[in-house]
Amino acid sequence: MTEPAPVFTSGIDHERLTSQLRFVLEVDKLKRVLRRSLLIDGARRENSAEHSWHVTVLARVFAEYAPEGTDIDHVVNMLVVHDIVEIDAGDTFVYDRAAVRSQAERERAAADRIFALLPEDQAAWARSLWDEFEERKTPEARFARAVDRLSPLLANWHTEGAMWQQFRVSKDDVLENVKLIAEGSKPLGAYALALVDDAERRGYLGRG
Amino acid sequence: MTEPAPVFTSGIDHERLTSQLRFVLEVDKLKRVLRRSLLIDGARRENSAEHSWHVTVLARVFAEYAPEGTDIDHVVNMLVVHDIVEIDAGDTFVYDRAAVRSQAERERAAADRIFALLPEDQAAWARSLWDEFEERKTPEARFARAVDRLSPLLANWHTEGAMWQQFRVSKDDVLENVKLIAEGSKPLGAYALALVDDAERRGYLGRG
Ligand SMILES: [Ca+2]
């Protein structure tokens, strides 16, 4: 854990600011968490911080494909915090069944530690965003999950299925995975299916 | 430019979706733009995409230090798009005077090209966010600029001034640079000044 500079600023609650700084410094570590997907140009693996940014762009650009009335600002807020737990829990590869089984517990422990760095009111706010994202009960959470799944699907198609091949991900696996996209957005779900079919035709998918 | 997959999805305006995908794929390149600042742990230089994410976290966490009535959702929207122009224009080091002189023109050309990839209505929306950020006339823009400056200041302090030393950035340069923080947030501006004083005491600053 990185301790904030011990500098005092008059007129600010010092303890509160120190807690906020501790959180802001801690989450910088998300830039070091590598995901199982490549950049669109295939140059290297993507990290979870830059991924978090990219999906906020997707949420904005594809907003019109969310169900009517979806609060996109709220979607963006969820996406900003959604991967922070990976600082402790690591990125869980969706096709790694053993990792997925232990994922919930590992991530909950991470949320308990990391969000609690914030002052209590803000910790509760960040935690509730993360819980909402995980529970997928609101249209906002479902749409956030949809763009979170669409982004690596695009990366996979544009790198000719590099990660699908490397980790032997079959068409059935991918179809199971992209179901979440249709849950959050019918049009994006339909696009995802068309993309998977096209990927199969081109031989981008793994042999399972 | 990366062309989207030529797949057709029924019930969606194909041309519109293709424009949106073209933009989403293009902005992925922001992950390849390196800034003149290190990660908090000093491990490597930061890229502009992960930086864009980190400042959205700062905007949320430090929201209470914005002037009353500041719309933080709008601040976050600005921060999501604010660095996209760097895909063409590159990151401009604030202490490189020649680069700063040509920056506005280079970035305007970039904005003209990149935002125009979007459908017209969305291009106008993204461009207006970027213009607002650049013009610094609204409290939202000034607060966005404040957190955008605070983030590298934290990184510099926590890496014992690594970039200040390497590029011989003096205390006067840094003080000039952090003025924008006080313009967006008095409390964060005061904190920034205290941090710079502390950095000087510790010998983190360059010799100019
Ligand atoms: Ca910036």
**What is the tens place of the pLDDT at every residue in A185-200?**
999 999 999 999 999 9
What number of other Cβ atoms are within 10 A of residue A3's Cβ? 10
Distance from the A167 Cα atom to the nearest Cα atom in chain B, whole angstroms: 22
What number of other Cβ atoms are within 10 A of residue B200's Cβ? 15
| For testing contact with chain B, the best of A28, A73, A150 (most B CBs within 10 A) | A28
- pLDDT given for residue A208 in this prediction: 58
Cβ–Cβ < 8 Å for B54, A81? no
> Closest Cα partner for B84 from A54, A138, A107?
A54
How does DSSP classify residue B115? Answer: G
pLDDT grade, residue A79 (50/70/90)? very high
pLDDT at residue A48 is higher than 90: yes
ipTM of the complex: 0.96
Contact A122 B61 (CB under 8 A): yes
State whether CATH 1.10.3210.10 applies to domain A25-202: yes
- pLDDT given for residue B18 in this prediction: 97
User: Which chain B residues have a beta carbon less than 8 Å from that of A195?
Assistant: 5, 7
pLDDT grade, residue A11 (50/70/90)? confident
Question: Distance (Å, rounded) from C-alpha A144 to C-alpha A115?
Answer: 20
Q: How far is the CA of B3 from the centre of ligand 1 (A)?
A: 27
- pLDDT given for residue B69 in this prediction: 97
- pLDDT given for residue B208 in this prediction: 58
**DSSP secondary structure letters along A60-125:** HHTGGGSPTT--HHHHHHHHHHTTTTHHHH-PPPTT-HHHHHHHHHHHHHHHHHHGGGS-HHHHHH
The token pair at A120 is: 């209590």
Q: How far is the CA of A180 from the centre of ligand 1 (A)?
A: 33
Say how many CA atoms lie within 13 Å of B27 toward its Cβ: 31
Give the environment of ion ligand 1: residues with CB less than 5 A: B 83, 148
| Average pLDDT along chain A | 95
State whether CATH 1.25.40.10 applies to domain B15-202: no
Contact B190 A21 (CB under 8 A): no
Say how many CA atoms lie within 13 Å of A16 toward its Cβ: 14
pLDDT at residue A50 is higher than 80: yes
pLDDT by 10s per residue, chain B, length 208: 889 999 988 889 999 999 999 999 999 999 999 999 999 999 999 999 999 999 999 999 999 999 999 999 999 999 999 999 999 999 888 888 888 888 889 999 999 999 999 999 999 999 999 999 999 999 999 999 999 999 999 999 999 999 999 999 999 999 999 999 999 999 999 999 999 999 999 999 987 5
Question: Distance (Å, rounded) from C-alpha B35 to C-alpha B193?
Answer: 23
Contact B157 A194 (CB under 8 A): no
- Mean pLDDT value across residues A143-160: 97
- Mean pLDDT value across residues A120-149: 98
